A and B are shown apart, each in its own frame.
Chain A
């Protein structure tokens, strides 16, 4: 009883993540890649992502603090971040990255700073949400293969 409750809760959580635009189709594709050989593929990738992205964000922060700013370098970092975000399907982060890159192209420092703050905020929110989601999933156990919620 409790078990199915948890499952429902997890499914609801995921749905709300999708509904609010944190995640997109790519996330399903990741889930589909999860099979008997690599049962925790998604979590693995997501963990990898957060490790990687934390590094990138600190890189970006440094690049922003440095004066004068090297926008090309900044751009490269943000591009990498964007690649990662699109791979896990974190669509809101990805959009923010796109905006950030636009500001970089314009060499608009103010915009970059604003965008970076937003990016960091989004990043934190996503991290928190996904962590609690995986927490829940671990409680449910590896039995259930994630399926798409019916839209």
Chain B
């Protein structure tokens, strides 16, 4: 790890250095390139500037030369072709002064006449002065002279000087008259201004010289010479001043006639500073003998752009590098963080699982001692306590029970979170489960005077595959909540098929447009709603309007509620929609969104007033989701709440249907089938619920809304001649408590008596009052045969009717549950009971005898074996498991061995027996184990040694029945 880290660091350093180097390289390269480009550009600029200056200088020079030429012609014209000459010094000076602007470059012009030595005296006499040399001395004798006769005023000091006496002038004169063109001297310091300058000399010929004259002819024809001094310095300065940009550029003008020794005409002799580049332009001043050149040089431009641009690029490179570096760093950091997060997440998840497991374990561990505590409290309550002590102990017990139920809930929740909760799938009877739940809360609802009712749609199959325990838990929780929070009105649980519910919801929407106004009117006029108790409910679905729709819908479908129609078997799954509606305090709007959060109640005052932890609903939600459904609710404060959930169950296969149905549903007595009943109920919904329970008993119900209508119903339209069921058999009159009054009952009784006398009815109908609370019970006068307390359950209703009709005696002497069937199954059967415990033996025998079996007893496995020697008469054997000498397992094994041998013998001898037409069935005695501890291990061992089942000791009727029913065929 560390080594890798270091290598990574080295790597990173190397990359940083490389990047720097590359950036510097880029900088240098770019710098050179830009520099070269800018140099080339500067050079081009210099060349063009230099050329321009040279050309301008040349042009200016040419203009001056031309003018001097013109003067030469002037002199020749007016001095030599006129006789006497028209020109004198005064005229010449005047003229030249006035035309001086034409020759800005010439400091002055003068005319020297050619005088040969022979003519000297004459000339001197004529002029009145002697010829002098340049040094103002009288000229020595020469071949010829060139004294200045006319001069411009600016150069009047040279008058009478012999031009031939000066070195440069003489040479100039000689060349000029030989070529006939303007010639220049080499540069020298001028006399007047001390500026560098050149002297221009122009020959003046006597007229008549042809254009192509030879040199000798020209020398011969020369009459004089016109000269002018060019002040080159001021000339160039003037020129440069006219041009822009002259400050950057240094101009030198050279006379390069002698190439090895250029003579400077303008500019500093030794240019100061470093001049990186220069350009030389040739100048042509019109003198073929002399060559001039101009040299322009310039300081190299400071290459700013060659520094700034690469620097910019360098900075950008560095920035880019930094960005990349930072991004890389960041990426590394994020990757590291991510890894850490993953680790933390794993830890958190592990912690969560551990928490759930801890919760599950702890709550399990708490339960065990709590059971002890509760048991002890129970026992404490049994002892002699005074009132205060008893109160304390009872309080402790209540608290303990609350704690246990809370722990159970927490355990459930923990299990759900740990994913350990599994939904089982066993066949169960939904209606029985609902009846059970209802009966749990019946005491409370009666106490509060709340109407508690269950309704299950006929189209819900009787037997469903699912988890009855969990289903029951959900319902219990919802109904429990409702009971807790409801003080008046009703709690109504009803179950429909989900697709079916949707259908009539649609129907409702369709007719909503028409029905809306009517409904609104209804609510405004009276406060009675079409619900179970007449109070308004949060969700209108349970109102009579919809309920009727659903009922009528059920009737339109061709089906029977009995063993299923083709429609019922169409799908494998059944989605049920269960609604629990109450008229309680409702849930405040602000709390509605956290109803399903664990440990959340609507507000803290709720738990103060009503108790509870608020974990129930969250568990219910989880359970519903596990069952593949959803849970919702509608709630309005002070009006009530309606919880609706869906759950998916499987239909029960046809093959097991019959059997399981008998064992699962507590068999409702069938003795009421075909009976009739009239129900007096003002509230249609309540009526429908009552009808539902009665129909489960096979009683057909006619529902009327007032007592007066009862008589009409009995009599029918044509008096007492109605051939309805009431005329033939007894019927029951059920009356809701709110339709009952002291006046009504006497009246009703009289009328019924009258009917009986008329023969319309065979006997007085039994009058049953349906009461919600204890106070209703008081209303029942002597005219009521019995009172049924709500909530209604089919079984309680059945028990009541049996009592009232007096038909229960033979059947309901014992508990109705299963007894009849056991009687049928065991009647007349020979049964062997094996137990070493005499008491147990006696009791078991007693129980079996009660069901009509003929019982024989054996006190040990050995005795049983000897009794069971084949052939024997026994139909079944109940065998204790733990016995001295030979225990139940061993005995069973031996019995099975015996049977096996006998069966083999039978098979061998079958042919002979078959001839006699006597087929022998195989021997197999059903052996049931009797055991006190029914645990899985015992059960497996029972099966292993050849037993057929087991019953717990002491006998429980239902279990006994289940075990026996598998093997014994009922004779009836």
Q: Chain A interface (Cβ within 8 Å of chain B)?
A: 19-21, 26, 29-30, 32-33, 35, 37-38, 41, 44-45, 48-49, 51-53, 76, 79-80, 82-84, 86-89
Q: A19-B382, A76-B884 are in contact. List 20 more A-B contacts (CB 8 A).
A: A21-B379, A21-B382, A30-B846, A33-B843, A37-B849, A38-B846, A41-B846, A45-B846, A48-B838, A49-B839, A51-B838, A52-B839, A53-B839, A80-B882, A83-B839, A83-B953, A84-B837, A86-B932, A86-B953, A87-B840
**Alpha-carbon separation in the docked complex, A124 to B708 (Å):** 66
**Alpha-carbon separation in the docked complex, A84 to B840 (Å):** 6
Assess whether A32 is in contact with B850, with CB atoms less than 8 Å apart.
Answer: yes
The verdict on B814 contacting chain A, using a C-beta distance below 8 Å, is yes
Assess whether A80 is in contact with B837, with CB atoms less than 8 Å apart.
Answer: yes
B-chain residues with CB within 8 Å of residue A29 when the two chains form the complex: 847, 954-955
The verdict on B342 contacting chain A, using a C-beta distance below 8 Å, is no
**Alpha-carbon separation in the docked complex, A32 to B839 (Å):** 16
Interface string of B377-397 (1 = CB under 8 A from A): 011001000000000000000
A-chain residues with CB within 8 Å of residue B836 when the two chains form the complex: 80
**Alpha-carbon separation in the docked complex, A37 to B954 (Å):** 22
**Would you give 23 A-B contacts (Cβ < 8 Å), ordered by A?**
A19-B382, A20-B382, A21-B378, A29-B847, A29-B955, A30-B843, A33-B843, A33-B846, A37-B849, A41-B846, A44-B842, A45-B839, A45-B842, A48-B838, A52-B837, A76-B882, A83-B835, A83-B953, A84-B839, A86-B932, A87-B840, A87-B953, A89-B954
Q: Which residue of A lies closest to B815 (CB)?
A: A32
B804-855, CB < 8 A from A:
814, 835-840, 842-844, 846-847, 849-850
Query: Among the listed A35, A52, A86, which residue makes an inter-chain contact with B954, where contact means beta carbons less than 8 Å apart?
Result: A86
Assess whether B814 is in contact with A32, with CB atoms less than 8 Å apart.
Answer: yes
A-chain residues with CB within 8 Å of residue B382 when the two chains form the complex: 19-21
Q: Which residue of B lies closest to A55 (CB)?
A: B838
**Alpha-carbon separation in the docked complex, A82 to B953 (Å):** 11
**Alpha-carbon separation in the docked complex, A133 to B569 (Å):** 59
A-chain residues with CB within 8 Å of residue B884 when the two chains form the complex: 76
**Alpha-carbon separation in the docked complex, A100 to B382 (Å):** 22
A-chain residues with CB within 8 Å of residue B882 when the two chains form the complex: 76, 79-80, 83
Assess whether A83 is in contact with B932, with CB atoms less than 8 Å apart.
Answer: yes
B-chain residues with CB within 8 Å of residue A33 when the two chains form the complex: 843, 846-847, 849-850
B-chain residues with CB within 8 Å of residue A38 when the two chains form the complex: 846
Given the interface pairs A29-B847, A45-B842, A45-B846, the reply to whether A87 lies near B378 with Cβ below 8 Å is: no
**Alpha-carbon separation in the docked complex, A76 to B883 (Å):** 9
Shortest beta-carbon distance, B164 to chain A, in Å? 161
**Alpha-carbon separation in the docked complex, A84 to B953 (Å):** 10
A-chain residues with CB within 8 Å of residue B955 when the two chains form the complex: 29
Interface string of B514-538 (1 = CB under 8 A from A): 0000000000000000000000000
**Alpha-carbon separation in the docked complex, A32 to B846 (Å):** 10
Shortest beta-carbon distance, A32 to chain B, in Å? 7
A-chain residues with CB within 8 Å of residue B378 when the two chains form the complex: 21
Kindly list the 7 A-B residue pairs having the minimum CB-CB distance in the complex, ordered from nearest: A84-B839, A33-B846, A87-B843, A49-B839, A87-B840, A20-B382, A83-B837
**Alpha-carbon separation in the docked complex, A38 to B880 (Å):** 24
| Centre residue among A35, A44, A86 by max chain B CB count within 10 A | A86
Query: Among the listed B835, B844, B850, which residue makes an inter-chain contact with A35, where contact means beta carbons less than 8 Å apart?
Result: B850
B-chain residues with CB within 8 Å of residue A83 when the two chains form the complex: 835, 837, 839-840, 880, 882, 932, 953
Q: Which residue of B lies closest to A20 (CB)?
A: B382
Shortest beta-carbon distance, B813 to chain A, in Å? 9
Q: Interface majority SS on B: helix, strand, loop or mixed?
A: helix
Shortest beta-carbon distance, B671 to chain A, in Å? 22
**Alpha-carbon separation in the docked complex, A38 to B836 (Å):** 22
| Centre residue among A37, A44, A80 by max chain B CB count within 10 A | A80
Assess whether A52 is in contact with B838, with CB atoms less than 8 Å apart.
Answer: yes
Q: Chain B interface (Cβ within 8 Å of chain A)?
A: 378-379, 382, 814, 835-840, 842-844, 846-847, 849-850, 880, 882, 884, 932, 953-955
**Alpha-carbon separation in the docked complex, A19 to B954 (Å):** 21
Shortest beta-carbon distance, A125 to chain B, in Å? 13
Q: Which residue of A lies closest to B882 (CB)?
A: A79
Q: Which residue of A lies closest to B379 (CB)?
A: A21
Q: Which residue of A lies closest to B848 (CB)?
A: A33
A-chain residues with CB within 8 Å of residue B840 when the two chains form the complex: 83-84, 87
Assess whether B843 is in contact with A88, with CB atoms less than 8 Å apart.
Answer: yes
Query: Among the listed B379, B843, B880, which residue makes an inter-chain contact with A45, where contact means beta carbons less than 8 Å apart?
Result: B843
B-chain residues with CB within 8 Å of residue A89 when the two chains form the complex: 954
**Alpha-carbon separation in the docked complex, A53 to B837 (Å):** 10
Assess whether B953 is in contact with A48, with CB atoms less than 8 Å apart.
Answer: no
Given the interface pairs A35-B850, A48-B839, A52-B838, the reply to whether A82 lies near B932 with Cβ below 8 Å is: yes
Assess whether A87 is in contact with B954, with CB atoms less than 8 Å apart.
Answer: yes
Shortest beta-carbon distance, B473 to chain A, in Å? 25
Shortest beta-carbon distance, A133 to chain B, in Å? 17
**Alpha-carbon separation in the docked complex, A20 to B839 (Å):** 23
Query: Among the listed A37, A48, A86, which residue makes an inter-chain contact with B842, where contact means beta carbons less than 8 Å apart?
Result: A48
Shortest beta-carbon distance, A92 to chain B, in Å? 9
| Centre residue among B382, B837, B954 by max chain A CB count within 10 A | B837
**Alpha-carbon separation in the docked complex, A41 to B850 (Å):** 12
Given the interface pairs A76-B882, A86-B932, the reply to whether A26 lies near B847 with Cβ below 8 Å is: no
Q: Which residue of A lies closest to B383 (CB)?
A: A20
Q: Which residue of B lies closest to A41 (CB)?
A: B846
Q: Which residue of B lies closest to A92 (CB)?
A: B379
Shortest beta-carbon distance, B722 to chain A, in Å? 43
Shortest beta-carbon distance, B355 to chain A, in Å? 32
B-chain residues with CB within 8 Å of residue A76 when the two chains form the complex: 882, 884
Assess whether B839 is in contact with A88, with CB atoms less than 8 Å apart.
Answer: yes
B-chain residues with CB within 8 Å of residue A52 when the two chains form the complex: 837-839
**Alpha-carbon separation in the docked complex, A18 to B205 (Å):** 176
**Alpha-carbon separation in the docked complex, A53 to B839 (Å):** 9
Q: Which residue of A lies closest to B378 (CB)?
A: A21
Q: Which residue of B lies closest to A25 (CB)?
A: B954
Q: Which residue of B lies closest to A51 (CB)?
A: B838
Shortest beta-carbon distance, A149 to chain B, in Å? 16
| Centre residue among B382, B840, B843, B849 by max chain A CB count within 10 A | B843
| Centre residue among A32, A41, A80, A83 by max chain B CB count within 10 A | A83
B-chain residues with CB within 8 Å of residue A21 when the two chains form the complex: 378-379, 382
Shortest beta-carbon distance, A123 to chain B, in Å? 13
| Centre residue among A29, A41, A82 by max chain B CB count within 10 A | A29
Shortest beta-carbon distance, A119 to chain B, in Å? 16
**Alpha-carbon separation in the docked complex, A29 to B838 (Å):** 17
| Centre residue among B382, B814, B839, B849 by max chain A CB count within 10 A | B839
Shortest beta-carbon distance, B384 to chain A, in Å? 10
**Alpha-carbon separation in the docked complex, A69 to B954 (Å):** 30
Q: Which residue of B lies closest to A79 (CB)?
A: B882
Shortest beta-carbon distance, A95 to chain B, in Å? 8
**Alpha-carbon separation in the docked complex, A88 to B842 (Å):** 10
**Alpha-carbon separation in the docked complex, A120 to B700 (Å):** 60
**Alpha-carbon separation in the docked complex, A44 to B846 (Å):** 11
A-chain residues with CB within 8 Å of residue B954 when the two chains form the complex: 26, 29, 86-87, 89
B-chain residues with CB within 8 Å of residue A37 when the two chains form the complex: 849
